[in-house]
Amino acid sequence: MSARAIPASVGVWLLAGVLGCGSVPAAPERATATAAAAPAAHEPAAEAEGIDPARRIVFLGDSLTAGLGLPADESYPSLIQRRLEARGGGWTVVNAGVSGDTSAGGVRRLDWSIDGGAAVVVIALGGNDGLRGLPVSELSANLETLITRSLASGARVILAGMEAPPNYGPEYTAGFRRIYPTLAARHGVTLVPFLLDGVAGIDSLNQGDGIHPNREGARRVADTVWKALDPILGEIEAESAR
């Protein structure tokens, strides 16, 4: 399967601090399902009653995915859950976003996050790596591990690109940006070139920190991800109907 990209026009993303406004937690928070019949917070995703792993979508990310600063039902994965409920098909979103997380943190908690199975894994990590100036080679290796292990579990993968701040220089910024399309093409996974396309740098779409989307910004992020997700769900449903 060849990589598929959702077009994006990406401007300069000026970030004031680490996504999530804190260091990576020593013990990652538990993923929580966002369906109407979701389990209580911190309940392991695999133990949620009535969630079919063949209809589960896991969002692995940082504070942008966790919805820092927003009500729980206004994070972009929660907004996508509402679209799925309207669409039908029994799909359930598990929001495995942890504020302050990095690609290495994602690797450490991937197995827990997809325990029991997942039909789709959305990987939306790297922003904190860029803010910390993590070598491009290390970010690439971590993201590749996330992709290959997710694919090996039987899940489809969506890779959401991030941008590095410009203070590390144009060479680092360009190398960082190339990681995402390169890995998507190499492994034949769906690419969202920039998770915050059309949101980053726009004051009216972000909270006061200038980093995290507000409610309207989260809706636009959900729109961007939905364009990549909806066709995949259609393919899975068609295959299961055969």
| Residues classed as catalytic | 63, 209, 212
- Residue whose pair of structure tokens reads 């077009």 in the numeric block: 7
* Contacts of the segment 41-44: beta carbons below 8 A, 24+ positions apart: 44/112, 44/115
CA 221 to CA 6: how far, in whole Å? 12
**Alpha carbons 223 and 6: distance in angstroms, whole number:** 11
- In order, the DSSP letters of 30-48 are PPEE-STTPPPTT--GGG-
Contacts of 132 (CB under 8 A, 6+ apart): 18, 102
Distance in angstroms (rounded) separating the CA atoms of residues 118 and 227: 19
